[in-house]
Amino acid sequence: MLAIDVHGLRKSFGSHTVVDGLDLQVPAGEICGFLGGNGSGKTTTIRLLCGLLKPDAGGGTCLGFDVIHQAAELRLHIGYMTQRFSLYGDLSVEENLDFVARLYRMPDRARAVATVLERIGLADRAQQPAEQLSGGWKQRLSLAACVLHQPRLLLLDEPTAGVDAKARREFFDMINDLAAEGITVLVSTHYMDEAERCRRVVYLAGGRLIVQGSVDDVVRDARLVVFEASGDALEAMARRLRDAPGMESAAIFGRELRVVGMDRALLEHTLAAVGGADWREVPARLDDVFIHLLDAEEGRA
C-alpha cells in the first residue's frame, strides 16, 4: 500500500518552475529520505503533498486522499514540521500543545497532551516557556505538536537543521520508533548520516526526481570509483588532484585523502602520474553520490 502516490506534479511561481513533473511513491510505514540541494524543490513538494499548495498540473493521493480535492480532510491525518520553529515562544511547552489540541478539536485534550509529553520526553519541561528551550528541545516540541493528533503520515522539512549531533541522533531514534508503529515519514535532510537511516532515499534536482531507491541501490547505481590514501601533509596533493583528468572530487578527511571519479582507467592513470601515495580502492558512500549529483546539477545550470 502506498502512503504517497503522486504523478506529474508541477508548480511554478511566475516564470520560475520549482517542481517539474514530479512522480513520487512512498510505501506505507517507510521512512523516506528526501535529498537535494538548496532550491531543488523539496519544500514546495512537501507543501503540495499536504495540500497547502495546489499544483499547476498533475495530482495523486496521500493516505488515499486526493491532494487537490480533499486537501482539508487530508491535513487532519498529516503531521507537518516546517524548517523554522513555528510555535509560540511566550507559551509554555504544555500550553503550546494544548493550543494545537484545540485546533484539532481533540475531545480529551489534557490526556492527549500528557501522553505526548511523556512519549517525546518533554514531561519534565512541560511548564518551561518554549522560547527558553534549546534548539534540540524546540525540535522535540515541534515533533510533539506534529504527532499529537496521531497522524498516519509525517512530512518533516529539515527537522534537525542547526541542532547538535546528539540531539539529531535522539530525534531520529524517535522517528524510527514512530515508523515502527506504522507511521509513514518523509523527511528532507542535508545530513548523510540521517539519510542512511532511511529505508528509501529520493534525490531532487531542479524540481525533478533524479534517483530513488534504497541507500545501497542508489550508491551502486551511481557507479562511482573511489580511492583513498592515508598520510600526513596531503593538502598539496589534494590541490593538485582537484582539477586533474578524471577527477570529480578530492577531499581530505582527517589523515585520509579521498578521490572520486567515474572513469576508472583515467582515474588510475591520473593517480599513478601524480604518485607520492599508496592508493587503495574503497566503496563509495552516500555522501560521495550526493556531491556527485550536486556537481552534475550545477553543470546543467
Q: Residues 161, 236: one domain?
A: no
For residue 5, the cross-strand partners are: 25, 61
pLDDT in the model for residue 276: 76
Structural domain includes residue 27: yes
Q: Residues 114, 233: one domain?
A: no
> Tens place of pLDDT for every residue, the chain, 301 residues?
899 999 999 999 999 999 999 999 999 999 999 998 888 899 999 999 999 999 999 999 999 999 999 999 999 999 999 988 889 999 999 999 999 999 999 999 999 999 999 999 999 999 999 999 999 999 999 999 999 999 999 999 999 888 888 889 999 999 999 999 999 999 999 889 899 999 999 999 888 999 999 999 999 999 999 999 988 778 888 998 998 999 999 999 988 999 999 999 999 999 988 877 889 999 999 999 998 988 877 655 5
Residue 211 phi/psi, 5-degree rounding, is -140, 155
User: What is the residue type of 86?
Assistant: S
Please say which residue of 198, 219, 240 terminates a domain.
219
pLDDT in the model for residue 300: 55
Q: What is the CATH number of the domain that holds 161?
A: 3.40.50.300
Q: Residues 29, 120: one domain?
A: yes
Number of structural domains found in the chain = 2
Distance CA 68, CA 54 (A): 6
Q: Residues 199, 266: one domain?
A: no
- For 23, the domain range is 2-219
Q: Residues 118, 132: one domain?
A: yes
Q: What is the CATH number of the domain that holds 242?
A: 3.30.70
Q: Residues 233, 204: one domain?
A: no
Q: Residues 69, 203: one domain?
A: yes
pTM beyond 0.85: yes
72: number of Cβ within 10 Å = 9
CB 212 within 8 A of CB 230: no
Q: Residues 140, 111: one domain?
A: yes
Q: Residues 78, 175: one domain?
A: yes
Distance CA 75, CA 98 (A): 18
pLDDT in the model for residue 301: 54
Neighbour-count burial for 187-197, b at 16+ CB within 10 Å, e otherwise? bbbebbebbeb
Closest CA relative to residue 215, chosen from 205, 200, 193, 225? 200
